[in-house]
């Protein structure tokens, strides 16, 4: 899951805790301070059920935050270890599917794939950007546990290259050195014949593809406007 999506998730859950837990504790305090009826051990007020309900919501949300924090921290540690010490390979995307989850209005996608000739090496990645099946991606994996490889390529950069320059994602270099992060740079535009009608048609097609990504939620409105302006200027 992208870092921005994790931050938004924590903010939303934190807001739930911030209002429900103090409210529940406040209701329980009012219930404890209320005077009980003569023949009753506890005061008959609506404060107790309200306090228990809101306190329960706050505690559940707190448990979810802690659980997600631990899971995502462990995942981040594992990805860091694989990026530095994992075995390298070239994977191929086999499936791209929407998860049905929207974060801040943007649809989250799941990209799945495997390494040709090594079907035990599989990878999955969730994010806002997508690449078509058949795209080659650099991955790192643990030979002892190859079923959970990590994607090394910047998928957002690959998407920008395809939209802006019409180039298919390039296969990664055949070898990598440990401790050397993979850096992707925008590919230079291919030379075009000045005044050719095909260039205008190509730009229109790329803008149409860009609009499809915007409508699907794969890119934001800001990214759409910025990339469209770059296409028009080119």
DSSP class of 172? P
**208 with 135, same domain?**
yes
**62 with 149, same domain?**
no
Q: Of 68, 83, 98, which marks where a domain is finished?
A: 83
What is the per-residue pLDDT across 144-162, written as a single tens digit (0 to 9) for each?
888 889 998 888 777 777 6
pLDDT at 58: 93
Q: Of 83, 102, 128, which marks where a domain is finished?
A: 83
What is the per-residue pLDDT across 13-64, written as a single tens digit (0 to 9) for each?
999 999 999 999 998 888 888 766 655 545 566 788 888 999 999 999 999 9
**105 with 213, same domain?**
yes
Region 133-153 average pLDDT = 89
**65 with 98, same domain?**
no
CA–CA distance, 110 with 40 (Å, rounded to integer)? 57
Q: Of 21, 53, 83, which marks where a domain is finished?
A: 83
Structural domain boundaries enclosing 191? 86-233
pLDDT at 44: 61
Residue that wins the pLDDT comparison between 161 and 84: 84
Region 178-192 average pLDDT = 45
**39 with 98, same domain?**
no
Q: What percent of the chain has pLDDT over 90?
A: 27
**106 with 161, same domain?**
yes
**107 with 63, same domain?**
no
What's the token pair of residue 47?
A: 């404060």
Classified as helix, coil or strand, 220 is coil
Which backbone phi and psi does 171 adopt, to 5 degrees?
Answer: -65, 145
Other CB atoms closer than 10 Å to residue 135's CB: what's the count?
A: 23
**221 with 111, same domain?**
yes
Total count of domains within the chain:
2
């Amino acid at each position: 899951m992208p870092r921005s999506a994790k931050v938004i998730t924590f903010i939303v859950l934190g807001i739930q805790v911030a209002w429900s837990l103090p409210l529940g504790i406040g209701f329980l305090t009012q219930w404890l301070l209320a005077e009980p009826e003569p023949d009753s051990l506890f005061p008959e007020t609506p404060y107790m059920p309200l306090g228990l309900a809101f306190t329960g919501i706050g505690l559940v949300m707190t448990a979810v935050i802690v659980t997600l924090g631990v899971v995502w921290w462990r995942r981040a540690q594992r990805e860091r270890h694989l990026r530095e010490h994992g075995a390298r390979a070239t994977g191929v995307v086999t499936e791209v599917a929407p998860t049905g989850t929207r974060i801040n209005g943007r649809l989250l996608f799941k990209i799945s794939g495997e390494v040709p000739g090594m079907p035990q090496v599989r990878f999955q990645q969730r994010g806002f950007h997508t690449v078509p099946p058949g795209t080659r991606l650099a991955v790192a994996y643990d030979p002892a546990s190859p079923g959970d490889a990590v994607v090394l390529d910047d998928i957002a950069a690959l998407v920008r290259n395809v939209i802006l320059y019409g180039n298919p994602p390039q296969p990664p270099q055949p070898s990598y050195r440990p401790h050397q992060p993979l850096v992707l740079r925008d590919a230079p535009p291919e030379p075009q014949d000045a005044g050719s009608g095909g260039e205008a048609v190509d730009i229109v097609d790329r803008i149409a593809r860009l609009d499809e990504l915007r409508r699907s939620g794969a890119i934001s409105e800001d990214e759409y406007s910025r990339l469209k302006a770059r296409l028009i200027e080119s």
